[in-house]
Amino acid sequence: KGGPYAPYRQSERLDSYTSHLKKLLAAGNAFYCFHSEAELEAEKKDLMRAGKNPIHMCDGRERALREQECLAKERESIIRFKTPAGQTLRFTDLVRGEIAFVSDLIGDFSIAKDLRTPLYNFAVAVDDAEMEISHTIRGEDHISNTPKQLLLQEALGLGTPQYAHLPLILGPDRTKLSKRHGATAIREFRDGGYLPDALVNFMALLGWNPGTDQEIFSMAELSLQFDLAKVQKSGAAFNIGKLDWLNGEYIRRL
């Protein structure tokens, strides 16, 4: 609430998104796509049967339609980014090092349902720039979103934050942690008697270690020692037994 970069709710930032969408459309970097969901699904299945990458590319005629011509169609549409061909997109991940994507494997991706309804990749590219975000730290399942955001940042003349993609937290069966593995909400751990510092300590050790045998860290120690460069690339299993042990240590120290 408040602050130099308010408002923070995307629903209150629609004017900014609309302005940037119009800029992309005017520059020919975005266009209206009129393919139906049924057509897109059929295309995807055909590509997969043929062993090809299931991406959507509109033809040159549709890509070249001006906004006025699109609106005159009075048909349901979506706004897509015109992905350039033959580009290699590179960024340095603070956890994984250099990562590269070929633009030909991305396709013309959707960025908004209409001028007042932005979609994820477009909205966060604008938000990161306007809120002067220095580091975007998120799960590794977002790596594939990064080249799309890089393309949008370049087309809009926006800055690029540093990216760090963390390994996912896994259940005991080495699948992505979910409710079926047990409590996943902070409130549930609190109600179960786990202390805040114990849970933070435990979470910090999932996928990271300081290179020593130390396992109990105060918040001050974590803030000094934690380094993204030491985050492991593979996922860490959520071990409830380890959390119970840590929580017991913190309770005894009270």
User: Catalytic site residues?
Assistant: 179
Decide: 19 and 130 in contact? Cβ < 8 Å: no
Decide: 194 and 185 in contact? Cβ < 8 Å: no
Neighbour order of strands in the sheet with 30-33: 30-33, 78-81, 110-114, 117-118
User: Which residues have C-beta within 8 Å of that of residue 17, sequence separation ≥ 6?
Assistant: 10, 112, 116, 118, 122, 123, 126
215-246 CB burial, b ≥16 within 10 A, e <16: eebeeeebeebeeeeebeeebbebeeeebeeb
Decide: 215 and 246 in contact? Cβ < 8 Å: yes
> Other CB atoms closer than 10 Å to residue 182's CB: what's the count?
14
CA atoms of 192 and 203, how far apart (whole Å): 16
CA atoms of 31 and 158, how far apart (whole Å): 20
Decide: 31 and 77 in contact? Cβ < 8 Å: no
Give whole-number Cα distances, 58 to 80, 109, 118, 186, 203, in Å. 9, 10, 20, 44, 44
Decide: 118 and 21 in contact? Cβ < 8 Å: yes
